[in-house]
Amino acid sequence: MNTTPLAVSRNYFRHRAANQWHKTPAEPGEPGAIRPFLAGNWKMNLVPRSGVALAARIFDICKGVKDVDIGLAPPYTGLSALADYIKPDFLRSEYDLGRNVFLMAQDTFFESKGAYTGEISPEMLAAIGVDRVIIGHSDRRANLGKFFGFSSSVARRLTPDFLTHELDALRKREGVDPQVFAAIEFMAAEQNHEILAGLAKFLEEDLKERAGESDAVTQRKVHASLAQGLQVILCCGENREARALHETFKLLDRQIRIGLEGVSPKTVNEMIIAYEPVWAIGSGAKAAGVEQISEVHDFIRNLVMDLYGEETASVIRILYGGNVNPENIADIMSIAGVDGALVGGASLKAHDFAQIIRFGCLIRDRHSDL
Min. distance of Cβ 274 from ligand PEP in angstroms?
8
Q: Which of 107, 276, 339, 352 binds ligand PEP (CB under 6 A)?
A: 276
**Residue of closest CB approach to ligand PEP:** 344
- Closest contact distance (angstroms) between CB of 347 and ligand PEP is 7
* Contacts (CB under 6 A) with ligand PEP, residues 277-296: 281-282
Query: Could you say whether residue 65 binds ligand PEP (CB under 6 A)?
Result: no
Instruction: Indicate which residue of 123, 174, 246, 276 is catalytic.
Output: 276
**Residue 67: CB minimum distance to ligand PEP, A:** 23
C-alpha pair distances (Å), 86 with each of 81, 101, 259: 9, 7, 30
Q: How far is the CB of 108 from ligand PEP (least distance, A)?
A: 16
Q: Is the dihedral of CA 206, 207, 210, 213 positive or negative?
A: negative
Active site residue 276: yes
Please list every residue from 287 through 346 that binds ligand PEP, using CB under 6 A: 321-324, 342-346
User: CA-to-CA distance for 360 and 352, rounded, in angstroms?
Assistant: 9
Number of residues interacting with ligand PEP: please give it, by CB under 6 A: 13
* Closest separation in Å from C-beta 322 to ligand PEP: 5
Measured CA distances, 92 to 60, 65, 99, 289 (Å): 12, 11, 9, 37
Is 41 or 225 the residue whose CB approaches ligand PEP more closely? 41
Kindly tell me which of 91 and 135 has the beta carbon lying closer to ligand PEP.
135
Report CA 259 to chain centroid distance, whole Å: 12
Nearest to 273 by CA among 331, 329, 312: 312
C-alpha of 277 from chain center: 10
Distance CA 312, CA 302 (A): 10
Please confirm, yes or no, whether 137 is among the known catalytic residues: yes
Strand partners, 72: 40, 103
Secondary structure class of 81 (helix, strand, coil): helix
Give the integer Cα–Cα distance in Å for 52 and 222: 28
What is the three-state SS of 209-250?
HHCCCCHHHHHHHHHHHHHCCCEEEEEECCCHHHHHCCCHHH
Looking at residues 341 to 370 of the shown chain, list those that interact with ligand PEP (rule: CB under 6 A). 342-346
Binding mask 19-58 for ligand PEP (x = CB under 6 A): ----------------------x-----------------
Task: List interacting residues with ligand PEP (CB under 6 A).
Answer: 41, 276, 281-282, 321-324, 342-346
**Where in the sequence numbering do the catalytic residues fall?**
137, 276
